[in-house]
A = this chain, B = another copy of it.
Amino acid sequence: MKKLINKPENFVKETVEGILLAHPKDLKMVNNNFRCLVRADEKKAGKVAIATGGGSGHLPTFLGFVGYGLADGVSVGNVFASPSSECMYEVDKAIDNGAGVLHLYGNYGGDIMNFRMAQDMCEMDDIEVEEVMVTDDVASAPKGSESKRRGVAGLFFAYKIAGAACEKMYSLKEVKNVAEKTVSHTRTMGVALTSCIVPQVGKATFSIGEKEMEIGMGIHGEPGIQRTELKSSDEVVEIMVNKIVEDLPYKNGDEVAILINGLGATPKEELYIAYRKTYTILKNLGISVYKNYIGEFATSMEMAGMSITLLKLDNELKELLDAPAYSPFFNQ
Q: Show the binding face of A for B, using Cβ within 8 Å.
A: 2-7, 11, 14-19, 21-22, 56-57, 59-60, 64, 191, 193-194, 210, 213, 230, 232-234, 236, 264-276, 279, 292, 294, 296, 299, 301-302, 304-306, 329, 331-332
Contact = CB atoms under 8 A, between A and B. Distances in A.
Q: Which of A18, A60, A233, A236 has the most CB of B within 10 A?
A: A18
Given A5-B232, A268-B299, 15 more contacts: A2-B193, A2-B213, A2-B304, A4-B233, A4-B306, A6-B233, A7-B232, A15-B273, A17-B276, A19-B272, A21-B275, A22-B292, A56-B269, A59-B268, A331-B331
Contacts of A56: 269
17 contacts: A2-B213, A3-B193, A4-B191, A4-B233, A5-B232, A5-B273, A6-B233, A14-B273, A15-B270, A16-B272, A18-B271, A18-B275, A18-B279, A19-B272, A59-B268, A264-B265, A268-B296
Contact of A57 (B194, B230, B269): B269
B236 A267 contact: no
Task: Specify the main secondary structure of chain A where it touches its partner.
Answer: mixed
B306 A304 contact: no
A302 B304 contact: yes
A210 B279 contact: no
Number of identical monomers bound together in the oligomeric complex: 2
A217 B204 CA distance: 26
A329 B273 CA distance: 16
B22 A270 contact: no
A56 B267 CA distance: 11
Contact of A22 (B60, B236, B272): B272
Contacts of A269: 11, 15, 56-57, 59, 301
Given A14-B273, A272-B15, A272-B18, A267 B6 contact: no
B306 A270 contact: no
A265 B268 CA distance: 11
A4 B331 contact: no
A22 B21 CA distance: 34
Contact of A276 (B7, B14, B274): B14
Q: Which of A11, A15, A22, A233 has the most CB of B within 10 A?
A: A22
Contacts of A279: 18, 21-22
B273 A18 contact: yes
A322 to B, nearest CB: 14
B276 A2 contact: no
A216 to B, nearest CB: 15
A59 B269 CA distance: 7
Nearest to A209: B2
Nearest to A12: B269
Nearest to A17: B276
Contacts of A264: 265, 267
